Chain A
Amino acid sequence: MAILFGGAIVSTDILFSSCKSNVKEEFFTPEDISLLDEIAETIIPATASSPGAKAAKVGEFMKVYVTDCYTAADQQTFFEAVREIKNLSQKKYVKEFLKLTVSQRREVLTALEMEKAARVEDKTKTPGAEGDAIQTGKQQEANKTRLKDAPNRYFPMLKQLTLLGYFTSQPGATKAMRYIQTPGYYQGDVPYKKGDKAWAT
């Protein structure tokens, strides 16, 4: 233990485990699922050619996936991300995310991405990171990456969950992409023109 805390490295696990104890998440109520659906729908909206993330029940998918497949630290990041979206909605528009227009929702998610990136900049300037003369350039880079990894994962995480949930759903795989469980044969060269859909699997 002494080695862990005596060293300069503070892992994200430790950061998360310290705040985990006092936050018992009561998440994934029906309202939460609706919110997640709308966040996902903002990322992957319904279009003329295919249903969006909401119709694909991506909110429900996120509940199952985050609950069963995420580490405690990743769950924490996920909950923080959703809270941050709620905060940003209030801060920018004094409204709940669900009551915002489509373009306002996009503004909120864009702000989420930008704001966090800005926060990373601040952190790299704190002593012990960039300012530490002993650090080599490589260490500085590693430190930046590490700090960047931690807080800036909010939007990428929600985006990845949405993409995974949507394109493995029936509407996503069969309407937005192309899906054939049993192709019957393989052909190595078929003509492709821009706009043709990808294979879902």
Chain B
Amino acid sequence: MINQNMGNINSKDINQNTFDAIVIGSGISGGWAAKELCEKGLKTLVLERGRNVQHLVDYPTMAKDPWDFPHRNHLTLKMKEDNPVVSKCYAFREDAMQFFVKDKEHPYIQEKPFDWIRGYQVGGKSLIWARQTQRWSKYDFEGPARDGFAVDWPIGYDDIAPWYSHVEKFVGISGNKDGLDTLPDGEFLPPWEMNVVEKSVQKRIMDNYKDRNVIIGRCAHLTQPKEIHLQQNRGKCQARNLCQRGCPFGGYFSSNSSTLPWAAKTGNLTMRPDSIVHSVIYDEKKNKATGVRVIDAHTKKVTEYFAKIIFVNAAALNSNLILLNSISTRFPNGLGNDNGLLGKYIAFQNYRGTLSANRDGFLDSYYYGRRPCAVMMPNFRNVHKQETDFLRGYMVFFSAYRSGGYAGGEQMGEAFKEAASQPGGWGVSMMMQGETIPKESNYVALSNDKKDDWGMPLLTISVDYDDNDEKSLKDFLNQGAEMLDKAGCKNITTNDSKQAPGLDIHEVGGVRMGKDPKTSLLNKWNQLHACPNVFVTDGACMTSTGTQNPSITFMALTARAANYAVEQLKKGNLS
């Protein structure tokens, strides 16, 4: 089908379909590529496989109250049975299910259990992300080289620090300047507050553990918008915590509320939803990529688009899929895949461990509003040297809250109703976000025989935990219980969710950056070593995972690579 159509393109089509840059994907990194490239004057085509979602216009549930949902924001049995994978996701509920891929729409092959959570629409998962944003530290970049796993990162903290600043200023990140080398400060808007129990836990932990820090979470919410945010027509976060529906105030950052409209304002953006990228076109004579083949999601018609540079931002695993499917004589195993490592060294983050506990007292205090972040503890394991029987470490998140007040006594009647209408005592819940070690045996590949409705090979995913993850989990549960105990909590319970990889929605790798083309796919500017006018700047590029929420790093890497690409184009190096 593809080859038949190729012959039909005439020079007029080519002209109409030619841009300076093509960006594949409109999620959190694709949006940044679009913004940077358009601002620098490049005519940029953004291809999005899903439907259009326009800021405000396409947020049908954003103003709904709990009673507006027939099932009070719970899933129906049918929705759960039809969607065993995505229905495990905490945010896939009645209010936001329109922004998630349903299991049957886009099948994939799980060689090992992997919950692949996807958002196929303009804005991608930036609409529904958890919005937590922490910079990597130098220790994270130095990890693989120090501990002898994966490959050495080709960049360090100093390379990316200015680009963190660049994106943070525009995105709007709330946070406290804590002065920690394990979690460098950024360009912060005012931080969110801790409640009284969180402050108490913070004090007790920091008194008991000299090497551990407890800080308020840093997140992509406008606690006090600046001029640059007002120019984006975004306003102050209203502490609704209904973010996954799309925000009527633009209070949190998404491609839809921020980068895409900003890119459109330049007049240089062409946005094309419903456009499934089949492959990147490689010109064997010119020795470079010249464009992409696109399948129309509705008509299935194939069209080719051309550009000098191509940014691949289809989300980590789908970027792998597109490159693996980009076959040419020069690259029979996928674009840029001279070393056979494309699709390998996939990693994710370990979310299995959680704890909960009660905290007596503090009954004269409550809170107002719904804060969109938690309290966190930057990784304190193996930071300066190897200290435990497992590699790397984990970030700890916790929050305290008052839950229902109807524990005992009469279970019906006036007094019961009265008690149930009041807050009960304080609870504390804690979770881990653990670094996992990228391994060659954790990989994605194209199915040999199974294809989707558009003729694209299905992605086979083979990713699992290992012994290191089990040890790290055990350590977190032990340390978490000990810390909660020292913080004066009672009824401490630990839980291993045993959830499959993927549900963390922090999958990365497969097209990793590195210094050596023999052991990596991308150079320090996110260019394919073997095809430098193709840039991969989403999660696929990650050499290792760190313990941080990853998106702000994808954004910084994207802005950095896009600006480098523009410089190189100006110098004539990529044309």
Contacts and interface: CB of A to CB of B under 8 A. Distances in A.
A10 to B, nearest CB: 23
Contacts of A179: 65-66
Contact of B370 (A47, A71, A113, A183): A183
Interface stretch (B49-57, B190-198, B495-503, B526-534): B190-198
A184 interface: yes
A188 B198 contact: yes
A97 to B, nearest CB: 14
A183 B406 CA distance: 25
B65 A188 contact: no
Contacts of A165: 72
Nearest to A164: B72
Contact of B367 (A52, A176, A186): A186
Interface string A157-198: 001000111011110010011010111111111111111111
Contact of A68 (B65, B71, B405, B416): B71
A124 interface: no
A189 B368 CA distance: 8
Contacts of B198: 188
Range for the number of chain B residues in contact with chain A: 35 or more
Contacts of B41: none
A196 B366 contact: yes
A71 B77 CA distance: 7
B360 to A, nearest CB: 15
A198 B411 contact: no
Contacts of A70: 77
B422 A196 contact: yes
B75 interface: yes
B421 A198 contact: yes
A92 interface: no
B301 to A, nearest CB: 39
Range for the number of chain A residues in contact with chain B: 35 or more
Contacts of A196: 366, 422-423
A39 to B, nearest CB: 10
Contact of A182 (B193, B238, B371, B420): B238
B422 A197 contact: yes
B414 to A, nearest CB: 6
A110 B367 CA distance: 36
Contacts of A159: 411-412
Interface string B357-386: 000000111111111000000000000000
B90 interface: no
B78 A68 contact: yes
Given A192-B366, A198-B421, A183 B411 contact: no
A197 B424 CA distance: 10
Contact of A69 (B76, B192, B366, B420): B76
Contact of B417 (A44, A169, A183, A199): A44
Interface string B433-446: 00000000000000
Contact of B421 (A71, A176, A184): A176
A201 interface: yes
A152 interface: no
A78 interface: no
B239 interface: yes
A159 B78 CA distance: 24
A154 interface: no
A64 B423 contact: no
A151 interface: no
Given A169-B67, A198-B405, A45 B417 contact: yes
A42 interface: yes
Given A177-B421, A183-B370, A198 B74 contact: no
A106 to B, nearest CB: 6
A163 B242 CA distance: 22
Given A44-B417, A45-B413, A173-B67, A186 B239 contact: yes
A42 B412 contact: yes
Contacts of A197: 421-422
B106 interface: no
A40 to B, nearest CB: 10
A193 B239 contact: no
Nearest to B401: A199
Nearest to A184: B238
Interface in A39-58: 42-45, 47, 50, 52
A190 B365 contact: yes
Contact of B66 (A182, A190, A201): A201
Contact of A190 (B70, B367, B413): B367
A141 to B, nearest CB: 17
A109 interface: yes
9 contacts: A42-B413, A45-B413, A64-B71, A110-B412, A173-B67, A183-B368, A185-B239, A186-B371, A188-B198
Report, nearest first, the 3 A-B pairs whose CB atoms are least far apart. Answer: A188-B193, A186-B369, A183-B369
Interface of A: 42-45, 47, 50, 52, 61, 64-65, 68-71, 106, 109-110, 113, 155, 159, 163-165, 167-170, 173, 176-177, 179, 181-201
Given A69-B77, A176-B417, 9 more contacts: A42-B412, A45-B414, A70-B77, A163-B420, A173-B65, A181-B65, A184-B369, A186-B367, A198-B422
